[in-house]
Amino acid sequence: MKKINRKDFPTNSEDSLKFEIPSWDQTYSLLLELANAVQKSGFIPDVIVGISRGGWIPARIISDLLEIPKLANIAVEFYEGVAKTKHKPVITQPVSVSVENKKVLLVDDLTDTGKSLSLVNSHLNAKGALEIKIATIYHKPWSRIVPHYYQKETQNWIIFPWEIKETIRKIVEDYKNKGKSIEYSKEKLISSGLNKELTKRVVKEIFGE
């Protein structure tokens, strides 16, 4: 697995990698503000497109908040682990509806390198989209793309409520590959803000200890 460049992610050291773990309520509040920003800008999309998988839940909520029922998806494979990516993102499922001559609100959970959003933006343009605006909850300052709408800028690794088990698996495996114990991994996650009992339960389900 290839580590991304320093310009894409500030560090891959377990001692300096920091996590941000918004709750469901905090995430929903951020999406409320994100929807308000879209409304205040005067942009009225014909269709909302969520990027798989991180953008699906935010896109569904934004669809509800903006009262835009037309919701579509597109799938991109990129991340292999914590602070690790494939060489480049690949679209594995094209946009699921026609966007020709449509105003599109493209939704993802965050911008990191910006490569996935750049690829999807080009894909939607090639499909004839009339106008594309990008909305994310979080934005990383080194991203090659700055969303039209976002709520928080951070350099931390975000763990969203809908990806806790998946992220715990990746983090523990990453630490194990660096010679760290599972107990060390658990303590790192708990000290970063993950619920203690939840962390222990998920680690036990995955690794048996």
pLDDT at 81 over 90: no
Q: What is the pTM of this model?
A: 0.85
Mean predicted confidence (pLDDT) in 170-174: 90
Q: Mean pLDDT over all residues of the chain?
A: 88
Q: Choose among 149, 160, 192: nearest CA to 33.
A: 149
Tokens of 173: 């495996």
DSSP helix/strand/coil, 39: helix
Hey, what CATH topology would domain 19-158 get? Answer: Rossmann fold (3.40.50)
Residues 137, 111 contacting (CB under 8 angstroms)? no
What was the pLDDT predicted at 132? 98
Contacts 24+ apart (CB under 8 A), 143-149: 143/111, 143/112, 143/113, 143/114, 143/117, 144/113, 144/114, 144/115, 144/118, 145/111, 145/114, 145/117, 145/118, 145/121, 146/111, 147/111, 147/117, 148/41, 148/43, 149/34, 149/37, 149/38, 149/41
The per-residue pLDDT for range 186-207, each reduced to its tens digit, is: 998 898 889 999 999 999 999 8
The per-residue pLDDT for range 14-66, each reduced to its tens digit, is: 456 788 999 999 999 999 999 999 999 999 999 999 999 899 999 999 999 99
Q: What is the identity of the amino acid at 120?
A: V
Count, in order, helices (H) and strands (E) of the chain: 6, 8
The Cα 63–Cα 69 span in angstroms is 6
The Cα 143–Cα 17 span in angstroms is 17
